[in-house]
Amino acid sequence: MGEITVSATFPNILKENLEAFKKHADEAIAVVRGEPGTLQYDWYLSEDRTRCVVKERYGDCEGLLAHLVNVGPLLGPLAALGGGLDLQVFGDLSPQAREAVGSGGAALYAFLAGK
């Protein structure tokens, strides 16, 4: 199946929610440090500090599924503080991974061509 890449966007962080959002982000990062299947998990805050994009990369679908189990409980509070959660998932997904991310409304992209 190969690597899976995810772009997770929290589109609207209100000024009064920023510190709480950052606290929950730190908790998620701490959890992910122990995940062997996670190759990248980097958080980026927009210049005006109202949007956050998380760039994620997993070695395979099993790594993605393990990640969802580990951070699942943190996603609700983060989405509430971040104005929602928009997911884009790139790669050839197993049926289990497709169901796990697709049920949350993620946009799914299968590999077409490239280097």
Residue 114 falls inside a structural domain: no
- Give the range of the structural domain holding residue 43, as residue numbers without chain letter: 4-109
Per-residue pLDDT at 103: 81
Per-residue pLDDT at 1: 60
Total count of domains within the chain: 1
Residue 115 falls inside a structural domain: no
Residue 96 falls inside a structural domain: yes
Yes or no: say if 80 and 60 are a contact pair by the CB < 8 Å rule: no
pLDDT one digit per residue (tens) for the chain, 115 residues: 699 999 999 999 999 999 999 999 999 999 999 899 999 999 999 999 999 999 999 999 999 999 999 999 999 999 999 999 999 999 999 999 999 998 878 999 999 998 8
Per-residue pLDDT at 115: 83
Q: Is 109 strand, coil or helix?
A: strand
Output the domain CATH number for residue 84: 3.30.70.100
Residue 41 falls inside a structural domain: yes
Residue 60 falls inside a structural domain: yes
Residue 29 falls inside a structural domain: yes
Residue 15 structure tokens: 């000024």
Residue 13 falls inside a structural domain: yes
Per-residue pLDDT at 113: 92
Angle, helices 95-102 vs 61-81, to 10°: value is 0
